[in-house]
């Protein structure tokens, strides 16, 4: 490949630099630790759904460091990047904890493929929702049976659909509490935490992926693009949710 071809490639998103001091991020972390411990104390069974991306690694590390009694699981959709699959094992080894892998029901996946085709989610919004329903929403429902609260890594800054995100909300669909412990965190604070505390970082973040989901529905984004521009990029800008967090 010629040097001119390489120079014409658009620059990709990169992990942002920050000017946050170690003392400042330590203070932020202490608030997060107390937040998690309080959540765990107020509920009998709290579970955290991790995608292994940056925000979720902050929450994972904070759960371990705080000693909060919160279990971890991930949605093993069957369409994840190999890097994500390997990251799950890395997290288990690094922290000495188990991450439950929750898989979709084979019958649900087969029903989707029979109706829409393996990659039918590219064709219509209806098909995209159906795929997420089979591979993510139904497995999440299964993973939360018996829990009375669950956590996410969502932040207000991430998307217009999350601008009013609270710390606690009611998950009406499942009749349990839902917490967003990083709701007010900035992107800079997320990366300052990860780097200051030497937290494992998903390898796709080094390849231009600020947001990570299933492989067919996630791509690297250009420098300056919205951080969720690589999620379901063929859809309209207001369709950047899979349904896990839509009331």
Give residue limits of the domains in the chain: 20-207
- Residue 192 CA to residue 65 CA, distance in Å, equals 16
158 or 169: which carries more pLDDT confidence? 169
- Give the tens place of pLDDT for each residue, 58-107: 999 999 999 999 999 999 999 999 999 999 999 999 999 999 999 999 99
Strand locations in the chain (E): 46-49, 70-75, 99-102, 149-151, 168-171, 176-179
Average pLDDT of 166-183? 97
So what's the pLDDT on residue 84? 98
So what's the pLDDT on residue 81? 97
Nearest partner of 194 among 40, 81, 52, judged by Cα: 52
The whole model's pTM is what?
0.91
Strands 176-179 and 99-102: unpaired
Catalytic residue list contains 132: no
Selecting among 131, 132, 217, 242, the annotated active-site residue is: 242
Using a pLDDT cut of 70, give the percent of the chain over it.
92
So what's the pLDDT on residue 36? 98
33: left (phi over 0), alpha (psi -120 to 50) or beta: alpha
Average pLDDT of 115-136? 96
What does CATH list as the number for 20-207? 3.40.50.620
């Amino acid at each position: 490949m010629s040097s001119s071809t390489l120079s014409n490639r658009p620059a990709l998103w990169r992990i942002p630099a920050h000017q946050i001091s170690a003392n400042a991020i330590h203070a932020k972390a202490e608030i997060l630790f107390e937040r998690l411990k309080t959540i765990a104390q107020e509920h009998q069974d709290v579970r955290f759904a991790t995608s292994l991306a940056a925000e979720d690694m902050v929450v994972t590390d904070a759960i371990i460091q705080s000693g909060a009694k919160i279990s971890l699981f991930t949605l093993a959709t069957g369409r994840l990047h190999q890097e994500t699959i390997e990251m799950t094992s890395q997290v288990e080894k690094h922290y000495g904890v188990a991450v439950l892998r929750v898989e979709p029901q084979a019958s649900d996946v087969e029903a989707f493929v029979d109706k829409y085709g393996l990659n039918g989610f590219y064709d219509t919004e209806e098909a995209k929702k159906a795929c997420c329903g089979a591979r993510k929403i139904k497995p999440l429902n299964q993973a939360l049976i018996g829990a009375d609260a669950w956590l996410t890594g969502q932040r207000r800054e991430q998307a217009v659909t999350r601008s009013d995100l609270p710390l606690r909300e009611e998950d009406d669909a499942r009749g349990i509490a839902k917490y967003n412990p990083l709701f007010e965190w900035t992107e800079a604070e997320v990366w300052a935490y990860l780097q200051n505390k030497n937290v494992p970082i998903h390898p796709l973040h080094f390849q231009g992926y600020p947001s990570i989901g299933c492989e067919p529905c996630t791509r690297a984004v250009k420098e300056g693009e919205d951080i969720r521009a690589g999620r379901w990029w063929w859809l309209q800008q207001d369709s950047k949710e899979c349904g896990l967090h839509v009331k």
